[in-house]
Amino acid sequence: MISYNNLWKVMKEKGISQYALIKKYNISPAQITRLKRNESVSTHTIEMFCKILDCEVEDIMKYIRDDEV
């Protein structure tokens, strides 16, 4: 499973809210919902978040083995 829990921490550190993602960066609310639920998103979406947050992929997502869930 891919976890996006670190994404929310990075957003808080960078001072970027979900509202800003939607209004300023045109991220769809549906994509934010998918990330909150740790559902699959495209690499394009991950790339957009890395650009917005000026971070690396591993800063916002983590692989968790099925036996660790």
Alpha carbons 53 and 21: distance in angstroms, whole number: 10
The DSSP output letter for 66 is G
Reported as a single tens digit per residue, the pLDDT across 11-61 is 999 999 999 999 999 999 999 999 999 999 999 999 999 999 999 999 999
Alpha carbons 44 and 51: distance in angstroms, whole number: 11
**CA 21 to mean position of chain CA atoms:** 11
Yes or no: say if 1 and 66 are a contact pair by the CB < 8 Å rule: yes
Phi/psi at 48 (5° precision): -60, -45
Reported as a single tens digit per residue, the pLDDT across 47-69 is 999 999 999 999 999 999 988 76
Residue 35: both structure tokens together: 């990330």
